[in-house]
Chains A and B, each alone.
Chain A
Amino acid sequence: MTERNEPRLTRRALLATVGVSTAALAGCTGSGSEGPYDAADDGSDADRESDDGGTESGEEGPPTREAVVPLDHDLESFNQNVLSGGVSQDGIPSIDDPEFESVDEVDGRLDDGDPVFAVAVDGEARAYPQSILVWHEIVNDRVGGLDLAVTYCPLTGTAIGFERGGTEFGVSGRLVNSNLIMYDRAGESWWPQVLGTAIDGPREGEALIEHPVIWTTWERFRDVYPDGAVLTERTGFSRDYDRDPYGSYNPKRDYYEDDGTMFDTMHDDDRHGHKEVFIGARDEDGALAVEKERLREDRLVEHDVGGVPHLAVYGPDLDTGYVYRNPEGASIEVDGEEYLVDGDPYPADDLPLERLNAFDAMWFAWVAFYPDTEVID
């Protein structure tokens, strides 16, 4: 078991409201924190605005923004519930020099139903097979000119992208609510993946800037992005990528199907099976969980979060859900594979509304982080 290498810095005053912002939120702040990030974090030219309005604070640390979502647990509670997964820091090695091949070169390495995590930036699409990420959990990549960490936690079934600026993320070996705690190699703050907010370290209370990562299948990715690239098994590490230590998604079995969890969580809610898949999203209004199966059937669901109308629509091409904030109460209707917004047709992933980052998550994990979540089931 490895303890963190850096000395614990004085914990900043606990924010009254902390949590995760989404890429769509306005009003961001750079880091004003002391510590290892200070080198280029002095408000000089080194600070630059990121693509979606966040501030990249310095060359070393990841770009962050002030967290704005009210959480039901304070940061101290998260820290008190951190567990070692029995793995040392970087014992699960991130992939730092990923290699890719074209869709056509994949041959029989992937089956049609195998899960892959799709990322598209500026016309460049990449697939990260779950069979590889289950052994590495983090890929420090650059997609479409954007430095991204594509992250996956097998125990909570969550795949999320984070802008990483000039640093890399690694696997701390610690968990909270069974969820991967990442650390950044610039200052070693601890970032639970689902939270996207540092719970300890020099960036405590700050939130990473997220980027959509779509949980889909190899067949769907291939159809939607025939010119896309796929992460290869040439990771620099010796692993048995044909074997998933937790079970299988194709077909689903063992840990991914059983109701049991590996570790205690901060909150348990038996309204649904632990491993049932929900589409989760959160913003300054609160958190929303949409049962994925319900969304597949209904295509469009609407719900108030914190008194503000939100909606989720189903994207059949990638078998995923997209969540939007709809404060003006625009009229939405299903129209074949598209959606009519105030009478005009739009694809599911591009409604003219404020889109939140949404991702698949196992129910037990989502509700452990966000016990007051609104639920559409």
Chain B
Amino acid sequence: MGATARGVSWLSRTTAVSRGALSRRDSAVVFSLVTLVYLLGFLLAIGDLNVRPEAGLSMLVVDDPLSRMFEPGPGPFAYEGIATIDLIVARYLFSPVNLAIGLGLSLLVGLNLALSYLAVTQPKSCGIGAGTGVLASVPALVSGTACCAPVIFLVLGIQASAALLSVFVWLLPIGVLLLLGSLAYVATKVDPTALGASSTVD
């Protein structure tokens, strides 16, 4: 089998298994919970969402939000917010582009974990690689940038070298690639017939 055919086969299998996972109640619940939790975690990590016990209820929209929303934010692959929203216990800096990026990542992580759940719980499961999705979800979480420096360096108190900073810039795309690779890998560990997946897989 050539590389292209193998790629198509992986894609077909991953798609089929993913559909199967979403059609099952238990794995769909895992998918939904993980997607939501990861999205919240991502927004917290990049600083768009902050816990604020006495936030109250208010919203302040910036001037010219349509152009502002596509302006780059502090970090790589980060964009400006267009509204500051106080939601009783949290302050959310609403950036449509950041939210879209976060949602895309969260869906990938949710699928990864839903498939991992199936790989572990299926009778024929070998369990190998079930944790790859969790590991793959980490890079994007640490990609946030504060004013002058990556948040993770501030949190860990480590000194940032030029080499580290060079890697840092690519954390989010690396995270996406890892999540896609992990998804394809975990899909091979799930028995599609047990899910009633209709697509042909080999």
For B51, give the chain A residue with the smallest CB separation: A243
Q: B148: which A residues are within 8 A, CB to CB?
A: 85, 87, 92, 153-155, 175, 178, 180, 262
Is A245's CB under 8 angstroms from B168's CB?
no
Is B157's CB under 8 angstroms from A258's CB?
yes
Is B80's CB under 8 angstroms from A238's CB?
yes
Determine whether B75 belongs to the interface, using a CB cutoff of 8 Å to chain A: yes
Query: How large, as a class, is the contact surface on chain B?
Result: 35 or more
Beta-carbon contacts under 8 Å, B47-93 to A: 47, 50, 52, 60, 62-63, 68, 71-76, 78, 80-84, 91, 93
Q: A2: which B residues are within 8 A, CB to CB?
A: 72
Among B60, B146, B157, point to the contact of A245 (Cβ < 8 A): B146
Q: B52: which A residues are within 8 A, CB to CB?
A: 242
Bound together, the chains give a CA A297 to CA B76 distance in angstroms of: 46
Q: B165: which A residues are within 8 A, CB to CB?
A: 1, 83-86
Bound together, the chains give a CA A245 to CA B62 distance in angstroms of: 21
Q: How many A-B residue pairs have CB under 8 A?
A: 108
Is A86's CB under 8 angstroms from B76's CB?
yes
Query: How large, as a class, is the contact surface on chain A?
Result: 35 or more
Beta-carbon contacts under 8 Å, B114-157 to A: 145-151, 153-154, 157
Is A262's CB under 8 angstroms from B75's CB?
no
Among B47, B68, B80, B168, point to the contact of A86 (Cβ < 8 A): B168
Bound together, the chains give a CA A216 to CA B37 distance in angstroms of: 42
Is A87's CB under 8 angstroms from B62's CB?
no
Interface centre among A84, A178, A180, A258 (most CB of B within 10 A): A84
Among B73, B93, B161, point to the contact of A264 (Cβ < 8 A): B161
Cβ distance B34 to chain A, nearest Cβ, rounded Å: 27
Bound together, the chains give a CA A276 to CA B137 distance in angstroms of: 39
Is B74's CB under 8 angstroms from A262's CB?
no
Q: B94: which A residues are within 8 A, CB to CB?
A: 238
Is A86's CB under 8 angstroms from B150's CB?
yes
Bound together, the chains give a CA A137 to CA B148 distance in angstroms of: 10
Bound together, the chains give a CA A83 to CA B153 distance in angstroms of: 15
Bound together, the chains give a CA A355 to CA B56 distance in angstroms of: 48
Interface centre among B50, B60, B147 (most CB of A within 10 A): B147
Bound together, the chains give a CA A263 to CA B72 distance in angstroms of: 23
For B65, give the chain A residue with the smallest CB separation: A238
Is A86's CB under 8 angstroms from B169's CB?
yes
Determine whether B1 belongs to the interface, using a CB cutoff of 8 Å to chain A: no
Q: B81: which A residues are within 8 A, CB to CB?
A: 237-239
